[in-house]
Amino acid sequence: MPLLIRNGKVVTSTDVFKSDIYCEDETITRIGPRLEAPPSATVIDAAEKLVFPGFIDPHVHIYLPFMGTYAKGTYLTESKAALAGGTTTLIEMICPSRSDEPLAAFELWKSNAAGKSACDFTFHMGATRFDALAESQLKEIVSAGLSSFKIFLAYKGAFGVDDAELFAILKLAKSLGVIVTAHCENADAVAAKQRELLAEGKTGPEWHEPSRPESVETLGVQHLTAFAAIHGTSCYIVHTSCEPAVRAALEARARGTKVWIETLIQYLILDKSYAELPDFEGSKFVMSPPLRDRSNHRFLWNNLANGSISTIATDHAPFDFKGQKEMGRGNFTLIPNGIPSLEDRMCMLYHAGVKTGRLSLNRFVDCGSTEAAKLFGLYPRKGTIEVGSDADLVVFDPQHKRTISARSHLMAVDYNPFEGMTIEGRVETVSVRGKVMVRDAAFVGDNKHGRFLKREPNHF
Ligand code: URP
Ligand code: ZN
Ligand code: ZN
């Protein structure tokens, strides 16, 4: 059924203009004033509203076996939550354990999403080991439509790779034109610091941040970028939390290394004092790299605004407070790492970024959608509003006020890190390839519409 969005203020990464948008057969076919539509068309009145391209979350975990448990939620729940927050495409991290074969992991993660996702999806392929078998299977996976790898310098013994593997994976990626996304923390330094703190009787969640200080993350960034420079591989530092780590990446970029930077909505809004909340409440705010001192906020916002930080993601990794975060009572190193935010990323960014004047509307779209599409081989199919692009559209009411709460969110987790915050701006209508999936801020779609997006390597 055709879709006409009327009278909206259309925002792309470069333009803001009043227009109608007409969509047929999954794509945008006309953009302009006073467009006609057949009686069969769904018509959405967007007067006084903003119309954005569907947002892309480039760093999400849905199926995540991790730290002795599994992240909460499935595609059935989390893809609806994504859409309620305006995210029409998510990129999930495939995180196999070191004993798993890459191809089997790729098939498993794909089967978890197939037929269950309301939004479109693709994956970064976790390269958690390197040997002849892994090499040939990683090549096969790239041919099957994944054009980015994920490596972990942290989590030794689980997902982490050693330096010989790091060297080989970056070399392979360069030869295939694949970008390598990387979790940068020095694993040995973290392990040593954890042991030291526990031996001193420092066991609560407030000790998570001191166990992985900013210097340890910065060291990870320096390590990764030095290795990437050897081969000229494109790399993308995920969840960058603090000024020194961003500076390390920018220094590498100034030396000619092809490096891009992601930060998370959590790092822009929350800070380490949340992990210090009493009665183990702090465990809700344990993730890695940790929430930092508030003094980092200004630097992160400024560098997101000027484009030095390319993208804003969530690293959505939900673990219930009850029964999961509680696994780490008495030992902070056993608290499952992760903070849910898939549903709230773009509304929080609008409220704290656009409304306050920290971010322009264009940059809001750029960091929340366009940059990720360009970096990960989805542009211009995704990430923009152009004739020929997929009809992924978000109609946004910039005036609507509401209070965030776990009682009303769609994510399958028992708390919300932004609980009680009153924000301005609401996602009202969302289409995915021309099908209306959210209307009047309620999910009206189905869990079969989402499609696996094949991506071509574009980092030669
Ligand atoms: O704490 C985090 N970030 N949990 C999810 C796994 C990861 O490191 O991305
Ligand atoms: Zn990570
Ligand atoms: Zn992650």
DSSP per-residue string spanning 104-156: HHHHHHHHHHTTT-SSEEEEEEE----SHHHHHHHHHHHHTT--EEEEESSST
Dihedral-angle region of residue 84 (phi above 0 means left; psi in -120 to 50 means alpha; beta otherwise): alpha
From the CA of 337, give the closest atom in ligand 1. Answer: 1
* Any ligand 1 atom below 6 A from CB of 183: yes
pLDDT of residue 156: 84
pLDDT of residue 107: 98
Angle at 441 between CA 114 and CA 10, to 5 degrees: 90
Token reading at 460: 């030669």
Ligand 2 ion: nearby residues, β-carbon < 5 Å = 183
CA 340, 343, 349, 352 torsion-angle sign:
negative
* Any ligand 1 atom below 6 A from CB of 288: yes
pLDDT of residue 157: 83
Inter-axis angle of helices 214-231 and 187-199, nearest 10:
160
How much is the average pLDDT of 361-382? Answer: 98
pLDDT of residue 401: 98
Asked if the bond preceding 380 is cis, omega within 30° of 0, the reply is: yes
Q: Provide the β-strand partners of residue 123.
A: 92
How much is the average pLDDT of 231-249? Answer: 98
Which CATH code, of 3.40.30.10, 3.10.129.10, 3.20.20.140, 1.10.10.10, is assigned to 54-375? 3.20.20.140
Domain limits, the chain:
54-375
Under a CB-based contact definition with an 8 Å cutoff, are residues 274 and 285 in contact?
A: yes
* Any ligand 1 atom below 6 A from CB of 338: yes
CA of 30 to the centre of ligand 1 (A): 41
Q: What are phi and psi of 345, to 5 degrees?
A: -50, -55
CA of 61 to the centre of ligand 3 (A): 6
* Any ligand 1 atom below 6 A from CB of 287: yes
Helix (H) or strand (E) segment spanning residue 188: helix 187-199
Q: In this predicted model, what pLDDT tens digit does every residue of 151-175 receive, in sequence order?
A: 999 998 889 999 999 999 999 999 9
CA 341, 346, 351, 354 torsion-angle sign:
positive
Instruction: Provide the whole-model pTM.
Output: 0.98
Under a CB-based contact definition with an 8 Å cutoff, are residues 8 and 49 in contact?
A: yes
CA of 48 to the centre of ligand 1 (A): 38
From the CA of 287, give the closest atom in ligand 1. Answer: 1
Q: In this predicted model, what pLDDT tens digit does every residue of 297-342 receive, in sequence order?
A: 999 999 999 999 999 999 999 999 999 999 999 999 999 999 999 9
* Any ligand 1 atom below 6 A from CB of 61: yes
Q: In this predicted model, what pLDDT tens digit does every residue of 251-303 receive, in sequence order?
A: 999 999 999 999 999 999 999 999 999 999 999 999 999 999 999 999 999 99
User: For the chain, what is the mean pLDDT?
Assistant: 98
* Any ligand 1 atom below 6 A from CB of 337: yes
